[in-house]
Chain A
Amino acid sequence: MELCRLTIHEAHDLLIKGEISSVELTSAVFDRIEQVEDRIGAYITLVKDRAMAEAEAADEMIRQGKGGPLTGIPLAIKDLLCTEGIKTTCGSKILENFIPPYSSTVVNKLKDARAVIVGKTNMDEFGMGSSTEHSAFMVTRNPWDLTRIPGGSSGGSAAAVAADECIAAIGTDTGGSIRQPASHCGVVGLKPTYGRVSRFGLVAFASSLDQIGPITKDVTDCAILMNTICGYDPNDSTSVPREVPDYTKVLQAGLKGFVVGIPTEYFAGGLDEDVAQAVHAAIKVIEGLGATCKSVSLPHTEYAVAVYYLIAPAEASSNLARYDGVRYGFRDKGAEALIQMYRDTRSKGFGSEVQRRIIIGTYALSAGYYDAYYGKASQVRTLIMQDFNQAFETCDVLLAPVAPTPAFNLGEKLDDPLAMYLSDIFTLPPSLAGITGISLPCGFSKDGLPIGLQILSKHFDEEKLIRVAYNFEQETDFHTKRPNL
């Protein structure tokens, strides 16, 4: 068994028994990176020396009998989370050399748990994209087919997990950026309820939507990471003061008496045949485990793309106003006057998709258009939330596809932003509603590309989706498959 292939819980068991050390495990991960990274391109920054030192410290903790579930486990962190002393680029030229003076709360929690940080993963610039092709630095390739996208924006994190270039990873999800790449790379990704995880030190894209979550090799690992990263943080006034349950406790419970809703709008025209087949087969498996399935309707689903691509760019245009070349990041040095310096810096520092969204957002918020665009979108967002509230009155969870097709080809949608936006149709509505969702492997296309199943539940009900996901995983072997690299 190659050590890099282990899950968190498998590695933890071996570490605690003293059969392996974190130094060995971390070395195995870096050996694997050496072997495959030039083909995958998952990492913007690797911090091997630091990681080896953290691994040694973790081994000492374990020797003293103080090893927790994440002690000595090599993790990859999306480059949107600030890491003190480690470059944090957000996939943007404008932050190419930015070294944060503090760490995000999630990174601090992982450090306190003595996890080992391997490096920072590639992503669409500031999280804006569905393919990781909008990174200013490099292309990330799908480990299952190197001619295809890994999904995005957390494409580097999902590819790193799928290619065993880490044991597990942290991603972020604004409109599907954890669930969609997890689906395309055949791994597990969970977007927590908005407010469940602190956003302190997460570089802001769309503040009413952004959430941090785990990307892992199986559901148990997802539960383990959730136990560590969730919880109220006084530094994030939108995090919710609410007890965090032990998510690993619900893993063994069955599905008897569960009511599972199947939203008809998620199976309408345009859904790839292989995806439809895999998701329908998954529904049968879950039914076989004792759950009752019923059709439900989420009638405002079709408006989610329009709503999201007004609200998220509006928030982004405001959040990204801070990049002005004054306090940190890139500055274009040619200008003689301040305003020109702002404009030159931003035009040269931001990539084309970010500039496009800043312009859409500025337009949607500008005088004369605010009511027609931002205001209207915010009202329809309410209706999308009400659809979910109504469905959860009679259902414990909802089952749906994650994306309408398996991973598309590199370059395929790069020149057609609207086509790229439409690929997010099934992950946007839950994000707008702030609810929680998980993506886990449920099959493969005829071309051998992974397909994900999306399970959704209401605010702060992560336990239910972890429970359904775990029971499904026990019945199937999709999560054990690995790409040939």
Chain B
Amino acid sequence: MKITKEEVVHVAKLARLNLDEDAIALYTKQLGDILTYMEALNRVDTEDVRPTSHAIFINNAFREDEVKPSMPVERALANAPESEDGGFIVPKVIG
């Protein structure tokens, strides 16, 4: 098995996802199959090959640090599930 149940549970926790027993079993199997397939990459010699994170060469894109108008608070809050006094409301942070 490429990935264990425990690893799936651990990764789901890191990704802030709840998985029930059925989902854990299903993902463990499917991810196992997928990761087994990925093992093909081990056949490739990548000694001294530079990794690519971006396909096009661009230097740092700088701009002047100027103050510009930003989105009004009410608009930024318009899609919030809960808001009050110009801020987002969330459940308590410390239980």
Contacts and interface: CB of A to CB of B under 8 A. Distances in A.
Interface of A: 97-99, 101-102, 193-195, 208, 234, 237-238, 240, 300, 302-303, 305-307, 309-310, 317, 321, 324-331, 333, 335-344, 346-347, 350, 355-356, 358-360, 362-363, 366, 373, 375-383, 385, 417-418, 421, 432-435, 459
Contacts of B61: 237-238
Contact of A302 (B34, B40, B88): B40
Contacts of B41: 303, 306-307, 376-377, 380
Contacts of A341: 90-91
B11 A337 contact: no
Task: Tell me which of A240, A327, A335, A459 has the highest count of chain B C-beta atoms within 10 A of its own C-beta.
Answer: A327
B81 A331 contact: yes
Contact of A337 (B30, B55, B93): B93
Nearest to A384: B52
Interface of B: 3, 7-8, 11-12, 14-19, 23, 27, 30-31, 33-34, 37-38, 40-42, 44, 46, 49-56, 58, 61, 63, 71, 75-76, 78-82, 88, 90-95
A116 B30 CA distance: 43
Contact of A358 (B15, B42, B55, B95): B15
Contacts of A347: 17-19
B54 A238 contact: yes
Given A98-B79, A378-B51, A385-B52, A359 B15 contact: yes
B30 A417 contact: yes
8 contacts: A238-B58, A238-B61, A300-B44, A330-B81, A343-B18, A346-B16, A363-B31, A378-B51
A300 B51 CA distance: 15
B14 A240 contact: no
Contacts of A459: 55-56
Nearest to B94: A337
B28 to A, nearest CB: 10
Given A194-B56, A373-B38, 17 more contacts: A208-B53, A238-B56, A310-B38, A327-B76, A336-B95, A343-B16, A343-B18, A346-B17, A347-B17, A347-B18, A347-B19, A355-B19, A355-B23, A359-B11, A376-B41, A377-B41, A418-B30
B79 A327 contact: yes
Q: Which of B16, B75, B90 has the most CB of A within 10 A?
A: B16
Nearest to B60: A237
Nearest to A193: B56
A359 B31 contact: yes
Given A306-B37, A338-B92, A366 B11 contact: yes
Contacts of B91: 335-338, 340-341
Contacts of B93: 337-338
A296 B16 CA distance: 46
- 6 interchain residue pairs of minimum CB distance: A434-B55, A378-B51, A328-B79, A331-B81, A237-B61, A379-B46
